[in-house]
Amino acid sequence: MSLSDWFKKDLAAPLPSLFEVLYGVPLLDTIVHEGVAAHDNFGIGTMTRECCDVFEGLQSLTDCCGGHGKTARAIVKAFPQIKCTVFDLQRVIETVPADGIINYVAGDMFDFIPPSQAVMLKLVLHLWSDDDCVKILTQCKNAIPSREESGGS
C-alpha cells in the first residue's frame, strides 16, 4: 500500500464539490453566475493591456466555463486575430444570443474541451477536488495541439 493510499484508507466518502452544491440550488447557481459575470468586468482590461505578450501569436482560445462570454469578447476586442470559443454547460450556452463574434459551444469539460491553441480557466479549478482538477487539466491538454501539429516552434 502506498503512502497516499494509506492516508486515504480511513477517509469518509468525499463531500460534493461546491459546484455540485450550487448546481442543485437554482437561486444560488444564478447568484454565483451573476457574480462571476460581474467579476469578468473587473481586471480584464488590465489583463489585455498589461499582459498582451501572453496573447501574442495566438490565433484561437477556448474560454472554458466562460459563461456569457464577457471575457472572451474583451479578448477579441483587444486582439481581433484571436478566434474565441466560449465553452460552458448546455443550460448556460442556450441562454446566450449568438453575436457572430464569439463561438459558443455546450458540453462537459470532463468529457471534452473544444480544440484551440490555448484554454483559459478563470475561476474554475478552485471549485473542484484535486482529482477532478487533474481530469479537467487532462482535457485541456487534449484540446491544445502539439507544436508539431499546429506548426509552432
- List residues bridging with 85 in a β-sheet: 62, 103
pLDDT string in tens for the chain (153-residue length): 776 676 667 666 666 666 666 666 677 666 666 666 666 566 778 888 888 888 889 999 999 999 889 899 999 999 999 999 999 989 889 988 888 899 999 999 999 999 999 999 987 888 788 899 999 999 999 999 987 665 554
Within 9-144, residue ranges assigned H as helices are 18-23, 26-41, 44-50, 52-55, 70-78, 90-93, 130-143
The four Cα atoms 113, 116, 122, 126 give a dihedral, to 10 degrees, of 40
What does the pLDDT read at residue 23? 63
> Phi-psi category of 123—alpha, beta or left, where left has phi over 0 and alpha has psi -120 to 50?
left
Structural domains present in the chain: 17-145 (3.40.50.150)
Cell of 45: 482590461
Rg (CA), the chain: 17
**SS3 state at 118:** strand
User: Which amino acids are annotated catalytic?
Assistant: 126
What does the pLDDT read at residue 6? 65
What does the pLDDT read at residue 39? 62
Q: Which helix (H) or strand (E) holds 83?
A: strand 83-88
The four Cα atoms 36, 40, 120, 50 give a dihedral, to 10 degrees, of -150
Q: Which helix (H) or strand (E) holds 5?
A: helix 3-8
